[in-house]
Structure formats: structure tokens, C-alpha cells
Structure 1
């Protein structure tokens, strides 16, 4: 009985969606030249806004993966950029070097966010406040507040040869970069079924962070 009710509900939902699609197609078929001109103007305005926004991002140092020299720069970056991704690293850790390669690629692809890194040894205040215990750790910041952390490689398949697309997807789940794919499923790579789902950690401010346990084999700070 329950299964029959579900099927009926799905059928009703399908009919509603089909009806909405038919109405939209009919609307498009009935567009006149004036309507089309208005659509073109709106599109042109949006393109100009996007171009101006991109210019502002580039002027603000987006599009390159840069290193912060001190904690003061971290606060300046997160204040000036709406979206930023900061990699806390140490030179001695090989996995930090792996993360660097992926961050370099994504910084050029996603100019809407500022990609930076900072040596954890030069940021004792931040590492203490954010309770960073494992390196590499990515701190994802939106509008001046940390909205998520990527600790080690656990969320990336817990392996060193994860793809840049996997990291891109994981960062996108925190809404700090634009993403056109399916946020509910990670990209398929290296035999992955593409059906693993990972939860975004709760939002925290840069003033503090709940201590999370981590079972990965990443390097303790």
C-alpha cells in the first residue's frame, strides 16, 4: 500500500513538472521580437556585470595561488575577498606539497575565490584559535567567517592520488566556489563509484572551532 502511494505521488509530481515544462515551451514559442530584444539586453547587462566582477577579483589578487607572510595578511584577505581558501601547511610534510599542486590549478580556474596558503609555524594564533591539529588543513572562509574545514585527505578519498576534481567538489560543498556539477555526489575517478556522500562540517567563526577527531594518517601539527 505504501509503495502504491509513493508511486502515485511520483506520478502526480511528474505530471506537474511536465505541465510546467509545457507552459515554459509555449511561452518561449510565443515570444515576439520585443521580448527577444529585452532578453538580449538583460543578458548583455549580466555579462557586463560578470566581466566587471571578474576584473575586481583579478585586481584583488585572485587567479593566483599566493603565500601569506603572517597572520595579519590572513585577516586582510578574508576581509577583502568574499570567498577564500587558506591552506595551512608545513614544508616538511609531503601531503602539503600534494595539496599545493591542486590549489595552484584551482586558483586559476576559480577566480571567484582567493586561494592562499600560510605556514602554520608562522601562524600560532590562528592554528590555536582554529584548533588546527592536522596538516594539511584547508580553512574555507565566506564573508569573513569560516564555513568549513578540509582536514587532511579524509574527505578526498583518504589517498594521496585524489583528483583535482575531487578537491574542487569538496570545496564547492561549502559554497565558496562556483560549481556546475552535482554537489550530492563526488566526481568519479580512479574507480570510484561516484556515490560516496560527505557531510559539510558545521559553520564556525575564525575566532574558534570545535575540536574534531581525525582518524586519517595525515601529519599531526
Structure 2
């Protein structure tokens, strides 16, 4: 017997032992064990359904716009996972992002997909360092976990697929993703592009973008224009 055959035989024996142990465990279950498993499963299903109800009540499952900056502070209190698109009316690529966000919103109800006009939200744009349009920020439990600037990490092309957009958003677990996070769907784009520092620039927010410390997301000066923080929000943000 060759060394390889011997190794395969040993692996087969280990697997057989694991299968036998699993079967024995099942056979030894009594009525109480089975009932406990059933009750646990029912509990998990009820909790999952309640989450679904809460998500839908908080606007998940659809792609709407935040009409004013104050709404941002409201949604981060209600939703653990948020994908926020900063757009302008004159930016053509923002319309491309809209198309993909509309498709993903009902697919991933665990996450709130929304957008806000960067020109009408100077406070958020400044604090989140929005310099390039479109920019998508991914927020998890009030913390910025990812920032997609232009289409540079989407293949530097306008015709990327929704699958690629979904894969890119999923990189920091802001949505539940069952695919392979290490490889773009369909190998649509050259992997070297994802390592590039180049940015697609358009709109009025042109300029180099600096990395944003996650702890800076909700900390900053009061907005100087139309939006005013309440005393409660000031306390929460440490202002």
C-alpha cells in the first residue's frame, strides 16, 4: 500500500467514526430531547419572524430617501445595518447606484438601503468626508465599517452587475452573503483593479479622500446650516 493510499484510508476511518458518533447520538435521543430540539427550533423561527417584522416596520425592504439630515440620526438608532448612498441630482453614476440599491433592498431586508442628497446634507457630508459622488457608506451599529468611493472597487466601469455590487457591499458583513467573498461573481473584473488606489471622480465633491477613523463617524462639530442637534443627540454624540 502506498503512502497516499494509507493516508486516504486513515481519513476514511476518521470520517466513518464521526458519522457513527452522529448516528449514535441521534439514536440515543429520548422523547424529551426531541421535544427540546423542536421547541428551540420554534423559538428561533419566532425570533427570526419578529426580526423580519421589525425590519419592515423600520423601512427595510425598500429603497427610500432621507429628506433631511435629522433622519440619519433616527435610522442609526433603529437599524443595525445601513447602506447609505450619497448622491447628487446631476450625477449620472448616482442613477446607476440607485438601480442596484433598489434591487438589493428587498433581497436583504436585514439591512436598510437608503440615500441622501450630498448637497442638501452639508453636516453629514463633512463629517463622513464625502468628496466624490457617488459614495456609499456602510454602517453597522452606528460605526462606519466600509466606504465605497465612486466605482473604483466595482471594476472602474459603469456596467458592473448587481451581483458584483452586492459582493462589494458584503465585504464587511453589512449584509448576509452566502457567496465567496474572496472572488468577484463571475470573475467579472480583473483582481488587480481591486487593489488600485484610483478613484472615479465626478460631481462637485472631487478631491482626494482620506481614510476615516470609524470612531469619527458620529463625532464632530454642530452643523452650521439648516440642521440643529437636539440636546439628546448632543449628549449621545458627546458634543
Q: TM-score range by the shorter chain?
A: 0.7 to 0.9
Structure 1 residue 35: Cα displacement: 3.4
| Residue pair 1:186, 1:196 contacting (<8 A) in 2 also | no
Q: What is residue 125 of structure 2 aligned with on the other side?
A: 127
Q: Which runs of 5+ in 1 are unaligned?
A: 1-6, 200-212
**Equivalent of 2:103 in 96, 102, 105:** 105
Q: What is residue 179 of structure 1 aligned with on the other side?
A: 177
TM normalised by structure 1 equals 0.77
| Residue pair 1:107, 1:115 contacting (<8 A) in 2 also | yes
Q: What is residue 147 of structure 1 aligned with on the other side?
A: 145
Question: Across the two proteins, how many residue pairs are aligned to each other?
Answer: 198
SS of 2:136's equivalent in the other structure is strand
More moved, 92-101 vs 160-169? 160-169
**Whole-Å separation in 2 of the counterparts to 1:219 and 1:17:** 59
Q: What is residue 69 of structure 1 aligned with on the other side?
A: 67
**Whole-Å separation in 1 of the counterparts to 2:83 and 2:14:** 38
Report the RMSD for the aligned CA atoms in angstroms.
3.1
**Whole-Å separation in 1 of the counterparts to 2:115 and 2:131:** 16
Pair 1:219–1:62, CA change in 2 (3 A): same
1:85 partnered with 2:74: no
**Whole-Å separation in 1 of the counterparts to 2:17 and 2:130:** 49
SS of 1:45's equivalent in the other structure is helix
| Residue pair 1:86, 1:140 contacting (<8 A) in 2 also | yes
**Whole-Å separation in 1 of the counterparts to 2:14 and 2:170:** 28
1:216 partnered with 2:199: yes
More moved, 106-115 vs 15-24? 15-24
Structure 1 residue 183: Cα displacement: 1.9
SS of 2:85's equivalent in the other structure is strand
Q: Which runs of 5+ in 2 are unaligned?
A: 206-239
Q: What is residue 56 of structure 1 aligned with on the other side?
A: 54
Give deviations 1:26-53, integer Å, cap 9, x for gaps: 4345545543333222211111110011
Give deviations 1:132-169, integer Å, cap 9, x for gaps: 11111111111111111011111111111111111111
Structure 1 residue 178: Cα displacement: 1.0
